[in-house]
Amino acid sequence: MIRVKKSRGVRYRSDVFGGVVYVPERDDFFAIDRELAPFAAALSDKWVEVHAPEEKLYRAFASLGICETDPKTKQIAYSGPSFLGRFIELPTVTDPLVLNCFCTSHCPLMCRYCHADDLMQSYREGESEQDLDNVIATASMIPAMVAVITGGDPLSAPERANSLIRRLSKQKAIVIDTSGVGDIDRLLPAIVETFAHVRVSLDAASDENARVRPANPKYSKDKDASRVGAAKTIKTCLENGVPVTVQTVISSHNENLDELRNLRDLISTWGVKNWVLHVAIRGGLARQVEDQADKQTRKRGILPSSGVYGLVEKLIADTERQNIQLDIRCTDTNQTPNSVLLVGSTGDLFTEGLAHHGKVPLYKAGEGRPDLVRSLWHHVDRFGHAKRYFNWNPWMGNGKNLEGLCFPIPKATQVPSVSGATVETEAKFPVKDGKALRELLEVEGFAVACEEKQRDEYYDREDKAFSSLDFVIRLRDTENDSVIGLKGPRFYTESGEYSRVELEFQTRSREASIESLSSKELSPYWFFEKRRTTYRRSRDEAIVCLDEIPLLGEFIEVEGELKQIRDIRTKFGECIGDPERRNYGELFKDHMVNMGSEPSEIKGAEFGPTE
Average pLDDT for residues 13-22, to the nearest whole number? 96
Q: What are phi and psi of 462, to 5 degrees?
A: -60, -35
pLDDT at position 121: 54
With 70 as the cut, is the pLDDT of residue 11 above it? yes
Question: Are residues 183 and 252 both part of a single domain?
Answer: yes
**Average pLDDT of the chain?**
90
Average pLDDT for residues 431-442, to the nearest whole number? 96
User: Is 92 within a domain?
Assistant: no
Average pLDDT for residues 449-460, to the nearest whole number? 96
Q: What is the extent of the structural domain holding 508?
A: 422-605
Question: Are residues 429 and 570 both part of a single domain?
Answer: yes
pLDDT band at 119 (very low <50, low <70, confident <90, very high): low
Question: Are residues 443 and 384 both part of a single domain?
Answer: no
Last residue of a domain, one of 35, 62, 84: 84
Question: Are residues 298 and 434 both part of a single domain?
Answer: no
- β-pair partners for 151: 104
How many domains does the structure of the chain reveal? 3
With 90 as the cut, is the pLDDT of residue 120 above it? no
Separation CA 178–CA 23 (nearest Å): 20
Most confident range, picked from 107-121, 187-201, 488-502: 187-201
pLDDT band at 288 (very low <50, low <70, confident <90, very high): confident
User: Is 89 within a domain?
Assistant: no
Average pLDDT for residues 308-335, to the nearest whole number? 92
User: Is 168 within a domain?
Assistant: yes
Separation CA 122–CA 101 (nearest Å): 17
**Residue 77 CB burial class (10 angstroms; 0-12, 13-18, ≥19):** middle
User: Is 415 within a domain?
Assistant: no
Selected residue with higher pLDDT from 238 and 42: 238
Average pLDDT for residues 314-321, to the nearest whole number? 96
Contacts of 254 (CB under 8 A, 6+ apart): 203, 204, 208, 212, 248, 260, 263
Separation CA 60–CA 82 (nearest Å): 13
Cα 504–Cα 20–Cα 404 angle in degrees, nearest 5: 110
pLDDT band at 420 (very low <50, low <70, confident <90, very high): very low
With 80 as the cut, is the pLDDT of residue 423 above it? no
pLDDT tens for residues 392-411? Answer: 988 777 778 899 999 999 98
Last residue of a domain, one of 373, 389, 405: 389
pLDDT band at 514 (very low <50, low <70, confident <90, very high): very high
To the nearest whole percent, how much of the chain has pLDDT over 70? Answer: 95
Contacts of 348 (CB under 8 A, 6+ apart): 138, 361, 363, 364, 365, 366
Average pLDDT for residues 573-588, to the nearest whole number? 94
Question: Are residues 69 and 112 both part of a single domain?
Answer: no
pTM: 0.70
pLDDT band at 417 (very low <50, low <70, confident <90, very high): very low
Question: Are residues 171 and 305 both part of a single domain?
Answer: yes
pLDDT tens for residues 599-608? Answer: 999 999 999 8
Last residue of a domain, one of 389, 412, 439: 389
DSSP string, 104-148: ES--SB--TT-SSGGGTGGGSTT--HHHHHHHHHHHHTS--SEEE
Q: Is 300 left (phi over 0), alpha (psi -120 to 50) or beta?
A: beta
Question: Are residues 109 and 226 both part of a single domain?
Answer: yes
pLDDT at position 368: 64
Question: Are residues 454 and 320 both part of a single domain?
Answer: no
Separation CA 302–CA 250 (nearest Å): 9
Q: Is 85 left (phi over 0), alpha (psi -120 to 50) or beta?
A: left
User: Is 183 within a domain?
Assistant: yes
E-strand stretches of 190-293: 197-201, 244-250, 274-279
CATH number of the domain bearing residue 480: 2.40.320.10
Question: Are residues 138 and 171 both part of a single domain?
Answer: yes
**Residue 351 CB burial class (10 angstroms; 0-12, 13-18, ≥19):** buried
pLDDT at position 549: 96
pLDDT band at 416 (very low <50, low <70, confident <90, very high): low
pLDDT band at 419 (very low <50, low <70, confident <90, very high): very low
User: Is 406 within a domain?
Assistant: no
User: Is 417 within a domain?
Assistant: no
CATH number of the domain bearing residue 353: 3.20.20.70
- β-pair partners for 273: none
pLDDT at position 77: 97
Helices (H) and strands (E) in the chain, counts: 15, 27
Question: Are residues 52 and 111 both part of a single domain?
Answer: no
User: Is 300 within a domain?
Assistant: yes
pLDDT band at 276 (very low <50, low <70, confident <90, very high): very high
**Residue 484 CB burial class (10 angstroms; 0-12, 13-18, ≥19):** middle
Question: Are residues 79 and 117 both part of a single domain?
Answer: no
pLDDT at position 397: 72
Question: Are residues 42 and 183 both part of a single domain?
Answer: no
